[in-house]
Chains A and B, each alone.
Chain A
Amino acid sequence: MSATAARDRPQPILIMHQVRGGYGDADILQGVSLTVMPQEIVVIVGPNGAGKSTAMKAVFGLVRIRSGAIVFDGEDITGWSPDRIVRRGISYVPQVDNVFREMTVHENLEMGAFLAKGDLSAAFDRIYALFPDLKAKRHALAGDLSGGQRQMVAIGRALMLEPQLLLLDEPTAGLSPKYMQQIFQICRDVRDSGVSILLVEQHAKQALAFCDRGYVLATGANRHEGSGRELLENPEIAQMFLGG
């Protein structure tokens, strides 16, 4: 391999290397490794309690990491505080309670840019262009919106600071198929605008069909990885939770 080829090959935006860690004394993550390339949608699937959310929180500095490393955009961010990670270019949408219910849609987006200084109007325009539904609802309280619209507020909030990497924890949980496809389409649009996405999904079949690459997590460790298609065609995985 020539030197130029090595330089031209894109570097991963995110590398999790053999990460072990958890909340208390016991480790939930038993060595999770994954990479996300620039402008890629990577999905994590796995049974309930597999540690999917925990893996995502580990990237965002919300979990005690015992060993392993997390490298973002060439920089080791293991052990950084969440607000430092936000500033560095990662945004995170939690699985639950991911909006400020008693604040308006507009204020929710504003909170997403809490760390930004100066004029936000360009950022608002960008988000409202991505979510036209939200523009009409911008003075409504987030708590009064439908589940799908609330997810859009949460994603919009996370995109306010123009992150390089977006972490989404089950953005389609509890949504109708129509909304699910809409959220997936938004993910594609966001990716095409230059953002990498790591997302956890409960709807394994649909998510694997739409992602660029996927990981199957079980009991705190990687079980399988590959393109969405490869994983879908793997009989072992199909048996695991795709219901055949």
Chain B
Amino acid sequence: MMEFLNFYVVPGIVTGSIYALGAIGITLIFGILRFGHFAHGDLATSGAYLALGATALLGLTPWAALPVAMLLTALLAYGIHRLFYRHLESRPKILTVIASLGIGMMLRSVVQVVWGVDPLAYGSGIARAQAFGPLMLRPREIATLALTLALVATLLAFLRYSKWGKAMRAMSDNPDLARLCGVDNDGVTRLTWFIVGALAAASGFCLGINTELTTMMGWSAMLSMFAAAVLGGVGRVEGAVVGGLVIGLAEELSVLVVPSPYKSATAFVILLAILLLRPQGIFKGKVL
């Protein structure tokens, strides 16, 4: 039983948190800007490597480098919007979707050129797990969960209570009416990219610190993140969090029933099932 908790459930929740942070960004872009952002995984990768760069250049510890990376990735996401996506805004959304695939490739290539293609890590040293009653948790796992919790709580409070947060929800709900109310939709779009970029960096960083840094890390995780966003209900932040945790757990637990190479197919199966059975997702999001 303890083995089950410590070898499957705990890693499942940690992976799930990482997916959740990525899926929130995907779901915000889907909801507010209305397209599937396929550069999202590579945005997370960029954030992870920017944190690595900050540890090397500024001599910061990995966790101290994270805010720097979040800020830089927010700027990066905003820059991508300004340079590329913004010019496609009035065109059919499929063009932006395809463009985002290209942007993803571009980001990945830049990371490969700067940092090489071999796996890297934030630091050496083996983190020993501490016992919490029957649970064995590593400090980085605790930190990942705490960070996810803090970011999600902050974002939900922002969306619920702040004027700009309400404007984001209004634009996701009914963009024409939002404009009639005087909401500056371009401003909301800019704000969305900042938030999405920062969260993507957090997701990539947590993935990197719990495993290792590879240039494909974000791209490989993206299918699971999309599955999480769709499972939770497109446009629903709470949904993305629940979806992320479900997908993360399902992937770790799948090893109990199918050979581990099929682990990453779990998300795909769940995605297919949800699209067939309940396309609005758990939390009644937009139907794709």
Chain A residues near B (Cβ < 8 Å): 60, 82-83, 86-87, 92, 94, 97-103, 107, 110-112, 114-115, 157
Among A83, A97, A114, the one with the most B-chain Cβ atoms within 10 Å of its Cβ is A114
Q: B169 contacts which of A94, A102, A114, A157 (Cβ < 8 Å)?
A: A102
Q: Min CB distance, B47 to chain A, in Å?
A: 29
Which of B169, B173, B181 has the most chain A CB atoms inside 10 A of its CB? B181
Chain B contact residues, CB within 8 Å of chain A: 163, 166-167, 169-170, 172-174, 176-183
In the complex, how many angstroms separate the beta carbon of A97 from the nearest chain B beta carbon?
6
A113 to chain B: closest CB distance in Å? 8
By the criterion CB–CB under 8 Å, are B179 and A111 in contact?
no
13 contacts between A and B (CB under 8 A): A83-B182, A86-B181, A87-B182, A94-B180, A97-B177, A99-B174, A99-B177, A100-B174, A111-B177, A111-B181, A112-B181, A115-B181, A157-B181
Whether A94 contacts B181 by the Cβ 8 Å rule is no
A92 near B180: Cβ-Cβ < 8 Å = yes
CB neighbours (8 Å) of A100 from chain B are 169-170, 173-174, 177-178
Q: Tell me the smallest distance from the CB of A222 to a CB of chain B, in Å.
A: 26
Q: Is the CB of A102 within 8 A of B181?
A: no
Q: Are A115 and B182 in contact (CB under 8 A)?
A: yes
18 new A-B contacts at CB < 8 Å, known A92-B180, A114-B170: A82-B179, A83-B179, A83-B182, A94-B177, A97-B174, A97-B176, A99-B174, A100-B177, A102-B169, A103-B166, A103-B170, A107-B169, A111-B170, A111-B178, A111-B183, A114-B182, A115-B181, A157-B181
How far, in angstroms, from A157 to B169 measured CA to CA in the complex? Answer: 16
- Please measure, in the bound complex, the distance between the C-alpha atom of A103 and the C-alpha atom of B166, giving whole angstroms: 9
With contact pairs A100-B173, A101-B174 given, residues A107 and B166 touching in the complex (Cβ less than 8 Å): yes
